[in-house]
């Protein structure tokens, strides 16, 4: 094989490697907290463990299928925040345990496990809340995320935040409250068995509420009838009315949830504090009119909305992305619809425009314009005014949405709503004591393996063993810097499994050195000098190294794609080490050997060990049997 032509420019390779190292450690010391500390995983640093208790719409234990589906959605949401190696497992028949490393706050974790049921509903009417209770009911622990902010749609105006409460609102349905209660309590014949069971359960709970309220419930029915006939202005109730309806303010959120929508909306003693504390999924039926309140960040926390049936749901959203809008100067969440969802969204804005441009007696919002509410779980995230029919995407923006909340909302919507309602049973801190002990053992095992590799290389390759040591030092610098930077950029956390991946990668790196050095020995056996052997050996070794690392990286990539939890971390570090191995061999090991081969001292047979191989090839007295045996030493 002929030697490669041209002079090998060693300095170029060293310069590229130096630029990479300088750039990497510039990011380490000038970004984030500016401290060279990699993020540690749950087993090394400790973290948070949250236990969620699930129940279906009937309050009974969920099926194994729905619990497994919820577990997968929660795992996808948590993993979307970065390579955090979170553990999401089912426990028993109705519990899910979520373990995450420090770095994800308790509040952020609660938002990630929120139901996130998204609906788009036309605003039929709205009223100001009239808090009358001396103390707000204690909200149940649902972990419901309430993203702050108002919303707007593309090509739409700024959301209305100041709707006039002076106008008498009218419901879109005319039957009396008693008739409405009766209708909502009895299951329809067309419902499937599960829906019928849910309706029967709601009717049973409503009957219990009626019995608790006694005559007050009948008074409420009379009040609703007077409102619907235009005899009473619900936006300005008198003190006597509030006093008569005062028992409704003492109902729990779960009891308020079973009241007919007309009672929830028109009664001044049914407050937003009760409506917001309803269990997630309380207003999830897209075929029913519902009542929901706004948010403090959106400027409408004291406003109750009567919302029409959901014309667009979360399943109509194709994707959700968060970003910073330079025009409006704030964070936004852009919703892209499916083909059917886009048609439904356009139809919804068209219908809202028609209702909003009707007469003063229409049932549109009291602001006098068309409004569409974006409802997440039990809360109106925003209720933007619609100035024209909208064809295209919807945008949630402004009103307090920040980088974190927009990212969480986009993650929730991308991975779908949970099929179950959850209550948080416990939130505990996880100690890293056991992991720290195992880390010591792992580092000890890695150190022993590294020492054995170095000792073998020094004994077998002599001076070339020093090249191995130098290459491993540079490799360690690249690995450490990469860990710190990746922890800041993509949330990568180092765990025991990840450390195991790096330890395994030591063998992969050493294998690359062995391939190159063995090729050098082959060239030396042919009687060539070390300087002439390096380029020839590199051409032959390069193909083998690339093939071996390609196989290792492919295996790591497949394992990362298919695995979960700690195994995913092992695959990630194995793949990262494989890539860094190529950088070290191409940019440092090969150029360093080429540079040292030009030195007479390093190339001497006693230092390099290659001279003995050339002598073995020739053999004493022109090649004896003894010389042939020595040739096979390598």
Express each pLDDT in 454-507 by its tens digit. Answer: 888 888 777 888 888 899 899 989 999 998 998 888 878 787 888 888 888 877
pLDDT the model gives residue 467: 87
In this prediction, residue 220 carries a pLDDT of 92
Q: Given this model, what pLDDT does residue 279 score?
A: 77
pLDDT tens-place string over residues 378-389: 888 778 787 788
pLDDT at 453 over 70: yes
- Predicted pLDDT of residue 434: 55
Flag the least confident range among 55-64, 281-290, 588-597: 55-64
3-class DSSP state of 264:
helix
pLDDT for res 143? 35
**How far is residue 352 CA from its own chain's centroid?**
34
Whether the predicted pLDDT of 161 surpasses 60: no
Average pLDDT in the chain: 76
DSSP assignment of 451-480 equals HHHHHHHHHHHTHHHHHHHHHHHHHHHHHH
For the cut 80, the answer to whether the pLDDT of residue 250 exceeds it is yes
For the chain, the maximum distance between any two Cα atoms, rounded to a whole number of angstroms, is: 125
Could you tell me the pLDDT band of residue 85, with boundaries at 50, 70 and 90? low
pLDDT at 588 over 90: yes
Report percent pLDDT > 90 for the chain. 17
pLDDT value at position 375? Answer: 85
Q: What is the mean pLDDT of residues 258-265?
A: 91
In this prediction, residue 60 carries a pLDDT of 61
Give the model's confidence band at 305: pLDDT under 50 very low, under 70 low, under 90 confident, else very high: very high
d(C-alpha 202, C-alpha 284), whole Å: 14
What is the pTM (predicted TM-score) of this model?
0.54
Q: For strand 330-337 and strand 47-55, is the pairing parallel, antiparallel, or unpaired?
A: unpaired
Q: Distance between CA 456 and CA 462 in Å, rounded? A: 9
| For residue 516, pLDDT beyond 50 | yes
DSSP state letters, 359-388: -TTSSS-TTSSEEEEEEETTEEEE--EE-S
CA-to-CA distance for 112 and 142, rounded, in angstroms? 12
Secondary structure of residue 221 in the 3-state scheme: helix
User: Which pLDDT score is estimated for 174?
Assistant: 36
What is the tens place of the pLDDT at every residue in 525-561? 887 877 888 888 899 899 999 999 999 999 999 988 8
**DSSP letter assigned to residue 161:** -
Whether pLDDT at 46 is above 50: yes
Among 72-81, 165-174, 398-407, the minimum mean pLDDT is found in 165-174
Q: pLDDT at residue 292 above 80?
A: yes
Checking if the pLDDT of 103 tops 70, the result is no
Which of 147-156, 406-415, 443-452 shows the lowest per-residue confidence on average (mean pLDDT)?
147-156
């Amino acid at each position: 094989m002929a030697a490669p032509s041209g002079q090998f420019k060693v300095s170029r390779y060293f310069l590229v490697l130096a630029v990479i190292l300088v750039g990497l450690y510039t990011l380490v010391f000038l970004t984030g907290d500016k401290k060279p500390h990699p993020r540690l995983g749950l087993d090394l640093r400790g973290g948070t463990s949250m236990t969620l208790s699930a129940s279906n719409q009937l309050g009974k234990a969920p099926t194994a299928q729905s619990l497994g589906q919820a577990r997968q959605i929660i795992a996808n949401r948590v993993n979307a925040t970065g390579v955090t190696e979170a553990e999401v497992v089912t426990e028993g028949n109705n519990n899910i345990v979520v373990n995450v490393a420090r770095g994800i706050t308790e509040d952020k974790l609660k938002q990630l496990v929120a139901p996130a049921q998204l609906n788009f509903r036309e605003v039929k009417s709205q009223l100001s809340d009239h808090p009358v209770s001396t103390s707000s009911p204690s909200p149940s622990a649902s972990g419901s995320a309430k993203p702050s902010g108002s919303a707007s749609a593309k090509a739409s105006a700024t959301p209305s935040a100041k709707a006039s409460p002076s106008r008498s609102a009218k419901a879109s349905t005319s039957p009396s409250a008693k008739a409405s209660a009766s209708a909502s309590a009895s299951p329809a014949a067309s419902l499937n068995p599960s829906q019928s069971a849910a309706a029967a359960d709601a009717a049973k709970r409503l009957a219990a509420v009626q019995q608790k309220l006694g005559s007050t419930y009948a008074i409420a029915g009379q009040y609703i009838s007077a409102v619907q006939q235009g005899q009473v202005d619900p936006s300005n109730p008198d003190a006597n009315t509030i006093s008569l309806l005062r028992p409704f303010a003492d109902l729990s959120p779960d009891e308020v949830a079973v009241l007919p929508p007309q009672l929830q909306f028109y009664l001044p003693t049914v407050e937003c504090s009760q409506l917001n504390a309803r269990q997630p999924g309380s207003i999830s039926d897209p075929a029913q009119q519902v009542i929901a309140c706004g948010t403090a960040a959106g400027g409408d926390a004291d406003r109750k909305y009567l919302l029409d049936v959901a014309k667009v749901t979360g399943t109509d959203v194709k994707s959700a992305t968060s970003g910073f809008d330079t025009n409006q100067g704030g964070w936004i969440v852009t919703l892209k619809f499916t083909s059917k969802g886009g048609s439904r969204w356009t139809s919804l804005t068209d219908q809202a425009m028609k209702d909003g441009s009707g007469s003063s007696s229409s049932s549109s919002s009291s602001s006098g314009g068309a409004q569409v509410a974006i409802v997440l779980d039990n809360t109106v995230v925003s209720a933007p005014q619609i100035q024209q029919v909208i064809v295209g995407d919807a945008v949630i923006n402004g009103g307090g949405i920040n980088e974190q909340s927009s990212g969480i909302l986009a993650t929730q919507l991308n991975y779908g709503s949970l099929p179950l309602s959850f209550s948080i049973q416990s939130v505990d801190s996880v100690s890293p004591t056991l992991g720290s002990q195992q880390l010591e053992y792992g580092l000890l095992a890695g150190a022993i393996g590294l020492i054995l590799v170095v000792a073998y290389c020094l004994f077998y390759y002599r001076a070339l063993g020093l090249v191995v040591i130098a290459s491993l030092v540079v490799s360690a610098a690249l690995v450490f810097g990469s860990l710190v930077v990746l922890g800041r950029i993509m949330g990568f956390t180092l765990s025991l499994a990840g450390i195991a991946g790096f330890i395994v990668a030591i063998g992969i790196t050493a294998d690359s050195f062995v391939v190159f050095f063995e090729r050098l020995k082959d060239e030396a056996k042919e009687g060539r000098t070390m300087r002439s052997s390096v380029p020839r050996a590199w051409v032959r070794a390069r193909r083998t190294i690339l093939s071996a690392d390609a196989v290792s990286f492919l295996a790591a990539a497949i394992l990362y794609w298919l695995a979960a939890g700690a195994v995913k971390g092992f695959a990630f570090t194995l793949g990262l080490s494989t890539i860094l191995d190529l950088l070290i061999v191409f940019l440092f090991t090969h150029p360093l050997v080429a540079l040292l081969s030009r030195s007479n001292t390093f190339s001497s047979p006693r230092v390099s060990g290659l001279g003995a191989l050339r002598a073995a090839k020739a053999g004493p007295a022109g090649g004896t049997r003894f010389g042939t045996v020595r040739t096979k030493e390598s």
